[in-house]
A and B are shown apart, each in its own frame.
Chain A
Amino acid sequence: MSATSTPLLTPLLQRLPGHTLTIYLKEAKYEFLKNLRLRVYTLSVLGFPLMFYVLFGLVLNARESIAGTTIPTYMIATYGTFGVMGASLFGTAAGLAADRRLGWLQVKRATPMPPFAYFAAKAVLSLIFSAIVVSSLMLLGFAFGGVRLPLANLAKLLGTLVAGSLPFSALGLAIGYFAGPNSAPPVINLIYLPMSFCSGLWVPYMFLPKMVRQIALVLPPYHLSQLALGAVGGGRHESAATHWEVLLALTLICLGVARIGFQRDQGKLYG
């Protein structure tokens, strides 16, 4: 063997930027279609927040209000946060854990797919489903809960919640890198459900036991729900900057953890 390794037959094989964009769009489109047809995903991600909202926001407490915000309006923000979390965690972690351990991600990695397209598609899926959950809650509230908000507030509420999908997608990627295909859904639930309760997404914050209220202050969903409540004039009127900082910190930490998982996979064999 000679030491000089002259590359054989190297025609220029570079993609144009437009082509790369097409890949990102197709990856996102098929990730969306794949999950849209997956009843487990659509039913649980849309079903639970909408069902809880109808029950606790429209049927049981519709005439009550908290510090001037009616319950149907208040709960769009809290169940919206709950829905966004579910769509984002299940949209990223469950699929990633299965794709990694059961070989599909290796099949994709063996192709010239830009690796980031795979993750971006999952984030886009989470954003889209978050928007669907929140809009559905708003429609329900408008139709049956007498929710009347200025368009600007509605837009701010939707925008805040949909943007809030990103930190939880990052958390989902981190979970997906460190959980197995079967353990991912229970692990997600173990994080998702207790955090939702402690952050005041099911029972409004002021009705939580004192100890839980203290725990809430360090939980990311609490901060997202306070931002959402702020958009409709409710909540505890803390500084929005602090809330965004917590969510940003969560995003960065989780992306760092996911990156460790990604690099660990480069040298490792599964199955």
Chain B
Amino acid sequence: MIATLETIRSTPSGTVARDIASLAGVSKNYNQVPALRGVNFAVHAGELVALVGPNGAGKTTAVKLLLGLMQPSAGRVRVFGGDPTHPQNRMRVGAMLQVGRVPETLRVREHVDLFSSYYLKPLPLAEVLAVAGLEKLADRKFGDLSGGQRQRVLFALAICGDPDLLFLDEPTVGLDVESRRMLWDEIRSMVERDKTVLLTTHYLEEADALADRVAVINRGEIIAGGTPAEIKAKTSGKRIRCITTLGLTRLRQIPGVVEVREDREAVEIHSGEAECVVRELLALDPSLSGLEISSAGLEEAFLALTNSSNAAPQELIRA
């Protein structure tokens, strides 16, 4: 896996100089509990990278380290080639974090006005409101906004300083489909403005829809990386679903089968060589019915990747 990562980090013409933000051998522990373990990860100029993983994988920790909100236990964090806490770097960075409470009695316009004042060359208020789709809400108090509208205000606060590098930590969590798509359009417009974006999400669909590059993180380690298409290709490729009298043990013995699981009355088989497996299945069970073959989505690729990395420690215990 590490070899794969190295290739991704240095392709196609990746040099250190292109790294806008990077974690080099970074570990972070909270009271001896590791949140990140020896992570190497970089964001290059002009790209939109998605850091994808389940809850508790270390995504937010990675973002907070890159924002200089905490110190790594080991390793080196660099933003624009320097210390992320440096005020000059903070001028060029915008962040949308998960936040439990935002002052509710201030109006949208007032929140943006205050945050804009921190930066040297903020975007004009009207432009910020337009990009974040908040024109009609400018005079509303934050406390009177819906969940989707609140996320758009946080997005507006992240972009109001016209930053070169944007961190979006789970920007669409808990939003309905429409609000999510609106925010996606806003995020895409940032890439069109030549911004560099690091997005964390546990929605694979989101990474697939937005990202140039995906890094999958689980249990504090980056376990895969590549374009969304490459990540999909990393799993065995096809999913075979059918109703059969064959037992799970027998199915697992068929050459080319990677994983078998029961799904209601049917079984689901993952395989890299679907054709051979299907041929064998039909030969073994003439009564087989309900056959479906589909290619594994990013979601399945993700599950397969995180499951295999979750299984690893157990194998160690057994050995």
**Chain B residue contacts of A13, Cβ below 8 A:** 87-88, 91-92, 120
**A268 touching B100 in the complex, CB below 8 Å, given contacts A8-B17, A33-B110, A34-B105:** no
Q: How far is the CB of A97 from the nearest CB of chain B, in Å?
A: 11
**A10 touching B88 in the complex, CB below 8 Å, given contacts A34-B105, A38-B105, A269-B70:** yes
Name the residue of chain B whose CB is nearest to the CB of A37: B105
Surface stretch bound by A, among B111-119, B129-137, B173-181, B273-281: B111-119
A112–B87 touching, CB < 8 Å: yes
Given the complex of chains A and B, what is the CA–CA distance between A271 and B98 in angstroms?
9
Q: Which of B61, B101, B114, B164 contacts A26 (CB 8 A)?
A: B114
Name the residue of chain B whose CB is nearest to the CB of A22: B117
**A102 touching B99 in the complex, CB below 8 Å, given contacts A5-B82, A23-B118, A269-B61:** yes
Q: Which of A2, A5, A98 contacts B78 (CB 8 A)?
A: A5
**A266 touching B70 in the complex, CB below 8 Å, given contacts A13-B120, A34-B106, A37-B105:** yes
Name the residue of chain A whose CB is nearest to the CB of B107: A33
CB of B145 within 8 Å of the partner chain: no
**A102 touching B82 in the complex, CB below 8 Å, given contacts A33-B106, A111-B118, A269-B61:** no
CB of B203 within 8 Å of the partner chain: no
- Mask of B246-282 contacts with A, CB within 8 angstroms, 1/0: 0000000000000000000000000000000000000
**Chain A residue contacts of B93, Cβ below 8 A:** 110
Name the residue of chain A whose CB is nearest to the CB of B102: A104
A107–B91 touching, CB < 8 Å: no
CB of B147 within 8 Å of the partner chain: no
Instruction: Report the interface size class on chain B.
Output: 35 or more
B100–A33 touching, CB < 8 Å: no
Q: Which of A98, A110, A181, A268 contacts B95 (CB 8 A)?
A: A110
**A1 touching B16 in the complex, CB below 8 Å, given contacts A106-B97, A109-B69:** yes
- Mask of B63-100 contacts with A, CB within 8 angstroms, 1/0: 01001111100000010111000011011110101111
Q: Which of B24, B80, B118 contacts A8 (CB 8 A)?
A: B80
CB of A68 within 8 Å of the partner chain: no
Name the residue of chain A whose CB is nearest to the CB of B20: A8
**Chain A residue contacts of B68, Cβ below 8 A:** 110
B117–A26 touching, CB < 8 Å: yes
A110–B100 touching, CB < 8 Å: no
A10–B80 touching, CB < 8 Å: yes
Given the complex of chains A and B, what is the CA–CA distance between A267 and B313 in angstroms?
29
B95–A107 touching, CB < 8 Å: yes
**Chain B residue contacts of A38, Cβ below 8 A:** 105
A1-56 residues at the B interface, CB under 8 angstroms = 1-2, 5-10, 13-15, 19, 22-23, 26-27, 30, 33-35, 37-38
CB of A113 within 8 Å of the partner chain: yes
Given the complex of chains A and B, what is the CA–CA distance between A1 and B24 in angstroms?
9
Instruction: Report the interface size class on chain A.
Output: 35 or more
B113–A110 touching, CB < 8 Å: no
B64–A269 touching, CB < 8 Å: yes
Name the residue of chain B whose CB is nearest to the CB of A103: B99
Q: How far is the CB of B36 from the nearest CB of chain A, in Å?
A: 12
**A7 touching B120 in the complex, CB below 8 Å, given contacts A107-B157, A269-B30:** no
B99–A107 touching, CB < 8 Å: yes
**A110 touching B102 in the complex, CB below 8 Å, given contacts A8-B80, A33-B110, A268-B70:** no
**Chain A residue contacts of B70, Cβ below 8 A:** 266-269
**Chain A residue contacts of B226, Cβ below 8 A:** none
CB of B220 within 8 Å of the partner chain: no
Q: How far is the CB of B47 from the nearest CB of chain A, in Å?
A: 15
Name the residue of chain A whose CB is nearest to the CB of B92: A13
Given the complex of chains A and B, what is the CA–CA distance between A2 and B22 in angstroms?
13
Given the complex of chains A and B, what is the CA–CA distance between A6 and B102 in angstroms?
37
Q: Which of B80, B101, B167 contacts A102 (CB 8 A)?
A: B101
A112–B17 touching, CB < 8 Å: no
Q: Which of B61, B99, B106 has the largest number of chain A CB atoms within 10 A?
A: B99
B90–A107 touching, CB < 8 Å: no
CB of B12 within 8 Å of the partner chain: no
**Chain A residue contacts of B90, Cβ below 8 A:** 110-112
Q: How far is the CB of A78 from the nearest CB of chain B, in Å?
A: 31
**Chain B residue contacts of A266, Cβ below 8 A:** 70-71
19 contacts between A and B (CB under 8 A): A5-B78, A5-B82, A6-B17, A8-B17, A9-B80, A9-B164, A15-B120, A22-B117, A26-B113, A34-B105, A102-B100, A107-B97, A107-B102, A110-B93, A111-B118, A111-B161, A112-B161, A267-B71, A269-B70
